[in-house]
Amino acid sequence: MWVWAATGLYFKNQRVAGLIIPMVIAIIGMAIVYGTENSEGVNKWGRVFAYWMINSCSAAFPFIMNLTGQLVSGHTKQSFTRAVVLISFAVGNIIGPFCFSASDAPRYSKGLATIMGTFAACIIIGCMLGCLIYYENKLRNKKHGDPSKDENLKLEGIINGLQDKTDLENPHFRFVY
C-alpha cells in the first residue's frame, strides 16, 4: 500500500492500475507458493517472499473504494454504490472460508483455485472498467466538449455536480481512471 501511495504522488490517474497490478502480483505469489509446496531444495526465503506477494491483493481495496466514490455522481447514487460494494466485500469474506474444506487438506486445491479465480476476475473486471472509462470519456468529449481544455465546461460541470446531478445527468462529468 505504501508503494502505491508513494507512486500516486508522482503519477495521476492510476486507480485502475492500482486494481490490476496488485492482483497480478498476488497471483504470481500464489502460483509460486503452491508450485513449490513439498519440493526439495526450494529456497525457504523465496517462498516467504512469494507468500508476502500474495498479500499485495489488499492494496487493491483502497482503490476500489476510491473509484466507487469517483465513478458515480449524485449523493444518493454514491451512497448506494458504496453500500453495494461494502456489502459485496462482507459477503465475500463470509463465503470465502467455506471454499476450504477439510477433505482438501493439506493442499486445499479447491480453495486456492477459488482465490486465484477471484483474483483473475478482478484483473479482467479492472481491464474492462479501464476500457469502458476511457471510451466513455472519449465519447463524452466528442459529444459535449472536453472540460479539461475549456474552463467554462469545467465550471458548468462543477455547478451541475453541486446541484447533485448524477453522472448520467451531467454531460460534463468525466470518469477518473
pTM: 0.84
Q: 104-155, pLDDT tens digit by residue?
A: 888 888 888 899 999 999 999 999 999 999 999 999 999 998 888 888 888 8
In whole angstroms, what is the distance from residue 148 CA to residue 89 CA?
34
Q: 80-94, pLDDT tens digit by residue?
A: 999 999 999 999 999
Alpha-carbon dihedral of residues 125, 126, 130, 131, nearest 10 degrees?
-40
Confirm if 57 and 26 have CB atoms less than 8 A apart: yes
In whole angstroms, what is the distance from residue 32 CA to residue 54 CA?
10
> Nearest 5°: phi and psi at 100?
-105, 110
Confirm if 172 and 156 have CB atoms less than 8 A apart: yes
Q: 65-75, pLDDT tens digit by residue?
A: 888 888 888 88
Number of H helices, E strands in the chain: 7, 0
Tell me how crowded residue 13 is: count the other CB atoms within 10 A of its CB: 10
Can you say how many angstroms the Cα of residue 150 is from the centroid of all Cα atoms in its chain? 30
Report domain extents, the chain. Answer: 2-162
Residues 23-40: b if buried by 16+ CB within 10 A, e if exposed? bbbbbebbebbbeeeeee
